[in-house]
Structure 1
Amino acid sequence: MKSSTAINDGNVVVEATAKHTNGVTNGTPKSAILHRHIHHEPMMVKGASGNYLELTDGRKVLDASGGAAVACLGHNNKRVKAAIACQMDEVSYCASMFFGTTAGEELGKLLISSTGGKMARTFIVSSGSEAMEAAMKLGRQYFLEKSPPEPARINFIARKESYHGTTLGALSMGGHVARRKIYEPMLLSTTSRISACNAYRGQRKGERVEEYVSRLAKELEDEFQRLGPGTVCAFVAEPVVGAALGCVPAVPGYFEAMKKVCDRHGALLVLDEVMCGMGRTGTMHAWEQEGIIPDIQTIGKGLGGGYAPVAGLLIGHRVVNTLDRGTGAFAHGQTYQGHPIACAAALEVQRVIKEENLVENVSHMGQLLSSLLKARLGTHPNVGDIRGKGLFWGIEFVRDKVTKKPFDPADAIAMRIHQKAMSAPYNISLYPGSGTVDGVRGDHIQVCPAYNVTESDIKLIANLTASVVGDFFATL
């Protein structure tokens, strides 16, 4: 059965029951908003509390994905709301070119403290895409200001089946085929990609982990040589790949090996933790589990938990010290950089996470979620892989479990599972993704609940997810 209701670019979700209306009713536009699909109205949320969203059609939906792994404290947190209101009474906006705020300074100190002082400065923006753009520019400026300067360093190496943002620079960096497709002629020529670290798809039969890591490190080395080692600015990667692959962690030793290649050639290591960071994988920063420290790190979704548009950079001592000895200024700035309300919201979110020991809860509840999903779905003939860390889990679907053959992209399996999950009797939101295998073929869903979930919440999420998947394939 083919589905014609979903656009397979990872950006559009259309309900199976939605009707094509050309965006008008009796000649009158239905909405003044250019939604993600002009012919279909989105589901409307009228309220939210804890782990649940209330829709205008009467549904109460369990938000098991936190939107896109964003709502790390759930919805309607009273402490965060109060902090935002308090900040509005103090100051809602000021130009970062001239002014700073207490909220911004306190957030910066908290974030640097969360790294144990391994990172030196923060830079706060409004979205993950903006953070990646800033990381690229900062990496370039570092090489212009170091002594001696290295102006030839203009190239970035990233990975296939990755996602780093939707603005043109960030989109150039990522390897999400569908999201890149129509913009390819406009994208930067100074970015290239090597294989992702995806053991389920990439590790050969009989190949030991150490051999797999060596092969991937050699691929990075070969790409340095192809471009010219002195022309590479940075290697960019997600410690746990989110939307493009569905919560795929690196195998042990991978990032240590890749950093050695970067260090050998003097290039920077940039880690994109917009989706997998800020506690999502069971440590505050995903790199803490990898035995390495990045030069630049992007953060986002779990930073503010959706209470305000906020993202940022954590910048290592190597980069900051070079700027300090050079111009002392980052040649980049934005209108809403360090926005006071966004900083206040993020600061309170992070305080709640720390005071309530929620990163520890992520680790504990993540182990339970993992065991329950694998127990319920591990042997299902259409479940190829269940992978993740903390409360960041992906389920990849296959047509054949033995050969790992994916479904036809036209079948829109992940999107249709999402649609089924949103309907009664399940009423659960699971985050769908496609292109899992090669950017075009492959389907997965992500399960990314709030950090403060309880054991009963996890059991309910696992049971509903297993029921949706089982029932969907039983009638396929």
Structure 2
Amino acid sequence: MSHIFPRHCHATPPTASHGEGCFLIDTDGKRYFDGSGGAAVSCLGHSNDRVRRAIKDQVDQLAFAHTGFFTSDPAEQLADLLIANAPGDLDRVYLVSGGSEATESAIKLARQYFTERGEPQRRHLIARRQSYHGNTLGALSAGGNAWRRAQFAPLLIEVSHIAPCYDYMGRAEGESPEAYGQRAAQELEDEILRLGPDTVMAFMAEPVVGATMGAVPAAPGYFNRIREICDRYGVLLILDEVMCGMGRTGHLFACEAETVVPDILCIAKGLGAGYQPIGAMLCTRAIYDTIAGGTGFFQHGHTYLGHPVAAAAGLAVLRELLDNDLVAQVRARGAYLEQRLHERFAQHPHVGDIRGRGLFWGMEFVADRDSKTPFDPRLGLAGRLKKAAFAEGLICYPMSGTRDGQLGDHVLLAPPFIATEAELDGAIDTLSRALDKVMADLPT
């Protein structure tokens, strides 16, 4: 009998024993290809010697020192390396333990920035429907997934939500992608004007929407227009790259593909590659200088900020990405994965859309391709696919509620950056078999 409180009380998962490259192996010896990197986490696979050695060496040197008293060499070195490779005027790094902490920190920093500037009336945060920014109450408030929010709604802070940039469902017939991007971005300006321009503190968005929509990139020019709107009204732009950053989409920072630099940027998952829990919030020099020139104290904090062992792991991961030019490999492998997904699934009667960037790809399933009608949510398509793929030895990330938190199903693929073309082929074959089984078993 287990005393673990699991994610689901009515399922008993196998016990993971060890990892080997892109595979996890359970205690029965069964091998599973990690086709989603867990949740877009394990970018280096499960047996990277450099990262494991860095963790062991750091434990021997210094396991923990509270940041209320000390800084540490690995934390300083990680911050230096991140900023050396970060775009624009991003200049300071706030190290946390994961994605939800990073986005929560970003929201609180945005608020304190304006109070220290003498603009305490700026209190409104705007985000997008069908976004996901984490599971703490502040992060969940920013997220726009109705199902995740529903039972906690009475506890959530007030956040405005505009439409996502969702080409497959949002772009009108005959409308160009560029025109659609401008139309979708205009919702931000409209909402700022509705709330009152001097009351809005920040807009938060994922450059490529991950868990809730399945690797949806923005239309061309969308984020350039978003940046213009934020600048016009003095609103901070917060980009959440917790899932899509750290090389996952073919750029070290996902915003580089949009030629846009945020005021605050959040990363996690791929920063630690699963070897240690770590995340980070990066901010511009102007934001930091406002705090430093005011109270000098960011009224926030967690016990494990800048944890030396986690920072050492993050530093080793980042060095591995840079020294081995793995971001370029993501682009090459990503192009191969895109081609193979289209070859296998583009004409599938129940695959409505294939979208993504780098090694971050999603497929949306439909009951009817012409009308884009989703499956009845009572069929539990995503859950069935996850179970069928897992039985075949493939870890992927199917989710329901793609359209609005209730309707729609997709699968997310985010394999390790070290995956070979042969391993990607194997994953696609397995996914195809699992999908065929699920479709054949659906009640009519």
| In 1, Cα distance between equivalents of 2:113 and 2:239 | 16
Check if 1:440 corresponds to 2:417: no
Residue-by-residue CA offset, 1:385-432 (whole Å, 9 max, x unaligned): 010000000011000000000011111111111111111xx3111111
Residue-by-residue CA offset, 1:309-357 (whole Å, 9 max, x unaligned): 1011111122123223322332211110000010001110111111111
Match of 1:309 in 2: 277
Provide closer, same or farther for how the CA distance between residues 260 and 116 of structure 1 changes in structure 2, counting only shifts above 3 A: closer
Check if 1:90 corresponds to 2:46: no
One-letter amino acid of the structure 1 residue matched with residue 20 of structure 2: S
Note the residue ranges of structure 1 that are not aligned, 5 or more in a row: 1-29
One-letter amino acid of the structure 1 residue matched with residue 365 of structure 2: F
Match of 2:416 in 1: 450
Aligned-partner SS, 2:354: strand
| In 2, Cα distance between equivalents of 1:398 and 1:117 | 41
One-letter amino acid of the structure 2 residue matched with residue 450 of structure 1: P
Aligned-partner SS, 2:283: strand
| Selected match of 1:229 from 194, 197, 209 | 197
Match of 1:112 in 2: 83
Residue-by-residue CA offset, 1:265-300 (whole Å, 9 max, x unaligned): 100000000000010000000100101100000000
TM-score, L = length of structure 2: 0.97
Check if 1:129 corresponds to 2:100: yes
Check if 1:361 corresponds to 2:332: no
| Selected match of 2:130 from 143, 161, 180 | 161
| In 1, Cα distance between equivalents of 2:420 and 2:29 | 25
> Mapping of 1:395-410 within 5 angstroms?
395-410=363-378
Check if 1:63 corresponds to 2:63: no
Kept in 2, the 8 Å contact 1:295–1:317? The answer is no
> Mapping of 1:377-392 within 5 angstroms?
377-392=345-360
One-letter amino acid of the structure 2 residue matched with residue 165 of structure 1: G
**RMSD (Å), alpha carbons:** 1.2
Q: Detail structure 1 runs of 4+ shifted over 4 Å in the superposition.
A: none
TM-score, L = length of structure 1: 0.91
Number of corresponding residues: 442
TM-aligned CA deviation for residue 117 of structure 1: 5.8
One-letter amino acid of the structure 1 residue matched with residue 321 of structure 2: I
Q: Percent identity?
A: 48
TM-aligned CA deviation for residue 473 of structure 1: 1.9
Residue-by-residue CA offset, 1:195-235 (whole Å, 9 max, x unaligned): 00000011111112232122222211111111111111100
| In 1, Cα distance between equivalents of 2:111 and 2:441 | 53
| In 1, Cα distance between equivalents of 2:136 and 2:256 | 28
Match of 1:206 in 2: 174
Kept in 2, the 8 Å contact 1:373–1:466? The answer is no
Kept in 2, the 8 Å contact 1:35–1:42? The answer is no
Note the residue ranges of structure 2 that are not aligned, 5 or more in a row: none
| Selected match of 2:49 from 51, 54, 78 | 78
Aligned-partner SS, 1:98: coil
Kept in 1, the 8 Å contact 2:87–2:261? The answer is no
| In 2, Cα distance between equivalents of 1:187 and 1:135 | 17
